[in-house]
Amino acid sequence: MKRILFMCLVFSLITLAGCKKQLTTEAVGLTTLEQVNSAPTLGTVENSVNSAYQLLSNRLNILAQWDWSGGLVFQNDLVMQDIASDDMEKKWNPDGDQPWIDDVNNFTFTSTNGGPNGLWKYDYEGIKRLNIAIELLTKSDIEAITGITTARKNQLLGEAYFLRSYYYFSLVTNFGDVPLILKPVSTYQEAFDVAVRADKNVVWDKIKSDLVIAKGLLPSSKYSSTTEKWRVNKGSVIALLAKTALYNEKWADVVTNVNELQSLGFYSLNTNYFDSFNQTKEFAENEVIFCYDHQSNQNPLKGNGICAPLGWGFFAPSTDFLNAFEANDPRKLYTVDVPNQNVNKLLGSINGSNKGNDDAANNKIYIRYADVLLWKAEAQNELGQYADAVAIINQIRARARTSVSALGVLPPAGTLPDRAASTDKATIKNWLISERRVELGFESQRMLDLKRWKLAKSVMVSKGKNFLDKHYLYPLPQAEVDASAGTLVQNPGY
């Protein structure tokens, strides 16, 4: 009985034939292990990868129906990275709704909190689907069986390796050591065997090696598919390689990877700051590298459900975040319209459209070129290439001050002046920290940045938050630890 309980609670995200899923919502057309082992079709191959994208979606109730306390109503990146930081509050008007989010905000959460639980389940559900996809796509006779072309097979396999790396990136940065599951699990014993936390360095190595494989499989074009521009592309892979190097402080590798990305010639800063988020300009701008393509009126639903809680009063800026912007910085209003209580970046509009709509068509942005440039600037600063680092910071500031504002006018002269030449590493680092905060506000980067800079404790404590050393990692969901009968070891302090 304990083994069955373990499988259904801990690795329902892996799923065995015959084990009823704890998660109640399943993707239409989801590929099963039985299909892989019997007679896969071309549709099975396509669905095996397509369903894995779904866990990146902002759609509501992907894994369960209104399981608020379990953290499964929507993706928790806004909670875990933005609300937990000094940038965002749960609601415009504080109330007792969803106290588990308040606990994340105040660092009073425990290992039963829905935030870490939801993050863990989303990531491992994606990994489960991708392991099935990779097993299917690496069958030696898959082309003969299904008729898939070699080019399409390689493309899908490259996407799968990237997506699995992306989910593991989320896991290792939030939890540290995590189980490294690289193939479908088909027996109870296999489930116990893989329910062991791998050293985070092993996980990082696997992320990098899978991305290297993915880079060699994907076509050398801006879009992997001209008819499905939302798919993972070579630029996405190179960018995640750079971010992986950044989080491991391999500064020269960051610069090398960003240089390679730039050499592709696919990406540049948009003329206007908001173009990356503007629903009307999706796939017609040059800055977004990787996003989730939300679409309205689809069956099954594929809309941006996060716009619904925005209509319920969720997600508001902290006063500290608003004060971080320099005078007349157009990025402030493009991020959030305080008088009208509209989070423009998340709505994909500057007029409140999509607010309250659980089937909105605006995309979710995961990687964009401005973020990548700031990675390079950070690495250059660490390498002593101070002039190059300052030049990139000024490039980001110049784009902001030359963007027509949400009010339809250019910022006044003198807005966001260039940073002066400097060879002081600490000064440049502080400029970089400030620039990342205002440039990437509400894009779920702030807490991850503070943690990797080892600044989270000092910053949070200075803002009156109860941040302790243990909070540099989130706790593993306690239900997973308990069900594993001691195989999974909880993070210290929880």
pLDDT digits (tens, 9 = 90+) for 371-425: 999 999 999 999 999 999 999 999 999 999 999 999 999 999 999 999 999 999 9
Q: What are phi and psi of 360, to 5 degrees?
A: -70, 160
CA distance 285 to 363: 13
Angle of helix 234-247 versus helix 200-217 axis, rounded to 10:
160
**Per-residue pLDDT averaged across 143-151, rounded?**
97
Mean pLDDT, the chain, whole residue set: 93
Q: Is the pLDDT of residue 24 over 50?
A: no
The DSSP result for 322-390, as a single string, is: HHTSPTT-HHHHHH-BTTTTB-HHHHT-SS-TTTT-TTB-PPEEEEEHHHHHHHHHHHHHHTT-HHHHH
Q: Is the pLDDT of residue 11 over 50?
A: no
Kindly report which listed range (29-33, 324-328, 406-410) carries the lowest average pLDDT score: 29-33
- What's the pLDDT at 27? 47
Are domains 1-218+458-494 and 249-453 of this chain identical in fold? yes
Percent of the chain with pLDDT over 70: 93
Residue that is written with structure tokens 């992306």 in the block: 166
Band (pLDDT 50/70/90 cuts) for residue 185 is confident
Band (pLDDT 50/70/90 cuts) for residue 7 is very low
Band (pLDDT 50/70/90 cuts) for residue 484 is confident
DSSP structural state of residue 19:
-
- What's the pLDDT at 186? 79
- Pick from 266, 267, 270: which is nearest to 403 by CA? 270
The DSSP result for 79-148, as a single string, is: IIIIITTTSEEEESS--SS-HHHHHHHHT---TT-HHHHHHHHHHHHHHHHHHHHHHHHT-TTHHHHH--
**Per-residue pLDDT averaged across 296-322, rounded?**
97
- What's the pLDDT at 213? 98
**Per-residue pLDDT averaged across 94-123, rounded?**
97
CA distance 87 to 433: 13
Q: Is the pLDDT of residue 327 over 70?
A: yes
The dihedral built from the CA positions of residue 387, 391, 393 and 397, taken in this order, carries a sign that is: positive
| Rg of the Cα atoms in the chain | 22
Burial letters for 99-134: b for 16+ Cβ neighbours within 10 Å, e otherwise? ebbbbbbebebebbbbbbbbbbbbbbbbbbbbbbbb
Instruction: State how far the alpha carbon of 336 is from the alpha carbons of 25, 95, 147, 234, in Å.
Output: 33, 21, 49, 32
**Per-residue pLDDT averaged across 302-325, rounded?**
98
CA distance 64 to 171: 20
**Domains of the chain by residue range:** 1-218+458-494, 249-453
Residue that is written with structure tokens 């508001």 in the block: 316
DSSP structural state of residue 477:
P
CA distance 177 to 202: 9
pLDDT, tens digit, for every residue of 35-45? Answer: 666 779 999 99
CB atoms under 10 Å from CB of 300, counted, come to: 12
- What's the pLDDT at 428? 99
What is the CATH number that goes with domain 1-218+458-494? 1.25.40.390
Residue that is written with structure tokens 């190595």 in the block: 205
- Pick from 384, 365, 102: which is nearest to 251 by CA? 384
Q: Is the pLDDT of residue 20 over 80?
A: no
CA distance 305 to 364: 11
User: Kindly report the CA angle at 451 between 449 and 452, in degrees rounded to 5?
Assistant: 70
Q: Is the pLDDT of residue 153 over 60?
A: yes
CA distance 282 to 288: 9
- What's the pLDDT at 28? 46
Angle of helix 369-382 versus helix 251-263 axis, rounded to 10:
140
**Per-residue pLDDT averaged across 461-483, rounded?**
96
Tell me which amino acid residue 289 is.
Answer: I
**Per-residue pLDDT averaged across 158-180, rounded?**
98
pLDDT, tens digit, for every residue of 198-232? Answer: 999 999 999 999 999 999 999 999 999 999 999 99
Protein fold of 249-453: 1.25.40
